[in-house]
Amino acid sequence: MNKKANTVFFLIGATVFNVLITIVSFLVLIVLYGRLLAPLLPESAAAWGLPVIFVAAIAIAFFVYRVAVKLLLKRFKAEDIFGSLSNRRKGND
């Protein structure tokens, strides 16, 4: 495979990984909220839980994704495996 194909497959895999991390973190936070915080809060405050959990799940997924991609690119020397998706040639910045 060439560098462009490697790049496309990496982006697809990374996107799927990001979505899965978001879903898993959302479900874990929902369970924790339901078991730990929801019984302690009044009903009016409990309604704010879902939007806060949603934003927290996205933030957790962003952090995990960023760390995982950074480690993966460092481990496999990204410039040797992946190419640019643009059609610009080097030197035409």
Q: Can you give the pLDDT of all 93 residues of the chain as single tens digits?
A: 677 777 778 788 889 999 999 999 999 999 988 888 777 777 777 678 889 999 999 999 999 999 988 888 777 766 666 665 555 555 544
If you write DSSP's letter for every residue of 31-84 in order, what string do you get? HHIIIIITTTS-HHHHTTHHHHHHHHHHHHHHHHHHHHHHHHHHHTTHHHH---
pTM: 0.72
Task: Give me 67's structure tokens.
Answer: 């760390």
Q: What is the pLDDT of residue 1?
A: 67
C-alpha neighbours within 13 Å on the C-beta side of residue 41: 13
Residue 26 parent element (H or E): helix 3-32
Q: What is the pLDDT of residue 93?
A: 42
